[in-house]
Every structure is written in C-alpha cells, then in structure tokens.
Structure 1
C-alpha cells in the first residue's frame, strides 16, 4: 500500500488530511510562496487537537525563491528548528522538511548536516530543492550523506508525471538508504499512473482545487483511495 503526505498551508487543511485518511501532514504556510515555515502556535494548536493523530512534519524555509541562503537566513533556519525542538513533549514536530543549496547549485552538505543534527534524531526530508541541483545523482548521494531519511522530488520533471523514469531509477538506487516521496502535480487524475510507473511508497500533494490555500477533502480522499 502507498501512502499520502498532504501539504497543509492552514489548520483546516490539517483537519482535512486526518479526515481524508492521509498518513502524514507537511505543515507550512503560504501556498503562493511554495511553502514557508509555519508559526509555532499553529503546530501547538494542531498537536493539542485530539482528532489529529497522524505525524506532522514541519517545513523550515525562511522565504520564497531559490534555496541558496545568506548567513542571516541560515541563522533564522537554525533558530526555527531550535524553537520547534524546544516545545514541550507532545507539542513538537514529528519531523522536518528543508533543503539548502550552494551558489553552485549543489546540496550544501555542511549546513544541511547542521540542521539534521539540530533535529535531534527526528526524521528530516530534503525537499524539492533536489530538483534544482546541477548534478542530480551527486545531489542524491549528498542528501544520503547528510543523514536525511527521505527526499521529496518530481524526478527532475516539470511535474512528477514528467519524471517517472528518473523516479523509478531513484527508488532502485536509494533502496534501503532513503525514502522517495513523489511530489509535483500529484492529483487524483494521475496518481494511479504514477503508482504504476514508480511503485509503492509515499506520494505528496496539497490536494488544492482552485485558487484557495485549503485542501479539498474530496480530492484528498480520492488520492488516498487511489493509493490503497
């Protein structure tokens, strides 16, 4: 069976994720920006909501745009991870999602290892910054070496449908070392085909229909059903 990770930009979307049968929440803010670090208070509220029982991974991203960060921006990312880690037991994140590149479009191993270390053993996913690296396979090996547990990727395609062949090869190459989370335009109309091409595993979608930031429960349920 495959599983759905739902990108949630609002608390209401997190409730939708749980109700629809998603297996994990990626919590962030600002759909228009592609996902930014959410407020601490949002995570605390969701963690204190009895109806939400699935894991919540938190996005760490200080701004929109590229994934090459200045020293102050990286310091902000460190502070954000530390602040989430300082939350009381049961109120903190179950994992983190982030990615940092060098100006040469390589995985910034030093900075990524630093954040993975600050996460204190909680699983970290390297997000779609991997699709921006100059040498994809070199980047994947760097992600493994940094201690990430998973990588979120479209397989370098404009969307996951366009990256099926790379995704299939990626799963073979990193089997036993890194989970592959398939993301990029994943919708009810293409997820079965993606699953047939890529195989069982994690699939990532915001399940947004229209111009709002809210996940559509019908879309989310259809994705979950297609992945069963």
Structure 2
C-alpha cells in the first residue's frame, strides 16, 4: 500500500515548505496555535495558484471541544461549500456527542456537504469514549482516513491504541490510520518498526522564526496572556524532507 506523508499548514509559506520537502498532501487550517481552525478560501486559492497538491481542509469552527450546536454545523456546511469552490480535495471533520461518542447525525450533515471529496476524521477520536467504536462508526459513514495519536497526548504514548486501530484497519479493510501528534523523522523510523502496517503520518514540522519587528511593545498581548508574539511558527522544509526520507526508507 502507498505510504503517505501529510503536513498540516496554516500559511502559504508553510505550504511552500511542505511541498518542497516532499509532502504528499496538505491539511490546511488557520490558527494552528489553537489546535487548528477552519481556513479561509482565499488562503486555499493562494496555494492552488502555485500547486495542485491534494489539500484537505480542517473544518473546526472554534477552539475547545467537539460538541457542536446546530448553528455551528450549519456554519461548517456553508464553509465546506465555499472551500469546495476554492479547490479543496477533501475535508477533515469530527463531531462528538456529550457522552463522547461520534455524533452520527451531525456527521451525516457534514459528510453530505462534502459530496464526493475525501474525508478524514480528525483527532476528535482521541477524546472519544471508545476509539475503536468511533473508528467503526466513522467507517460506516464513508470516512476514508482517521487522524489519531492513539488517544494520547502524542503518538509515541498512544502506541497501544494505534496498534489496535491498525489491526482493525487490516481486519476490515477500513479507513487508513493517519498517525499524528509529535511526528518527526525519528518517530517515523520508530513507529514503522514497532507498529506493523504503519504507513501514513501527519506532521507540522514547525520551527519558530524570529519576528521582523524591531520595535516591540511588551506587556500588550493580542491574544492569550503569555503568548509569544515575536516569534512566528512556520513549517520547516528540512524537517519535512527528513520525514519523507525516513518514511520512504521504511519497510512496506
């Protein structure tokens, strides 16, 4: 089966670096520091003017939990329509019930809005009550990819659950397991050895770049107190290239 390296980006500069480093696909979002929110169609169009690389857009209306109101679902459906027109190949979605199960009613609405585009269930699975059942519910909805850390803070910590999900994938021919959270070249080398069948990875490859601002007024935060506004996070081409090399060198 084909190996996949997906890179999460929230700017044109990061998209350029990911593409140059050898990414197979982009997950496009905004506000990556907040865990990623829905991107703008204009940013997608900027990328589309430079590359035809597959792009899946993260659909998340706000930071926080994945328990969404009908107003938020309606907003997501409208945004999906705009992003489809701007050139999105797929979408990254996820809604949970208050009890921690996949919200199949809300998910049906989003899936229908996405049409025939590719579909990833995002890391809502990692805070779901039963990741394995959530995987099965997602498969029944036609989701083709599951982005997960194995219900842990990082994929290295989530190897036990990741292993169970990979077994389920192979047993059922279900959605691909896209391993994320803390992925780099070293992690790819480790997990392709310890988790049979691990072949799809998701990373951001971010480094901090110094702001070009010379005048800096301290103590006037634009967002959360303590957020460093004098460093910009951006995807590093060399980190993506190293991950690409590690994945291509792993056993099939």
TM-score range for the pair, normalised by the shorter chain length: over 0.9
Q: What is the total number of aligned residue pairs between the two structures?
A: 222
Distance 1:203 1:222, change over 3 A: same
In structure 2, the residue matched to 1:95 is 90
In structure 1, the residue matched to 2:200 is 202
Q: How does 1:20-31 map to 2 (within 5 A)?
A: 20-31=21-32
Moved over 2 A (4+): 209-213
**Alignment TM-score, normalising by the size of structure 2:** 0.84
Q: How does 1:1-228 map to 2 (within 5 A)?
A: 2-49=3-50, 52-85=51-84, 87=85, 91-175=86-170, 176-198=173-195, 199-210=197-208, 212-228=232-248
Q: Unpaired runs of 5+ in structure 1? A: none
**Alignment TM-score, normalising by the size of structure 1:** 0.93
How far is the alpha carbon of 1:188 from its aligned partner? 2.4
Q: Unpaired runs of 5+ in structure 2? A: 209-230
RMSD value over aligned CA atoms? 1.3
The answer to whether the 8 A contact 2:166-2:198 is kept is no
Q: Which has the larger radius of gyration?
A: 2
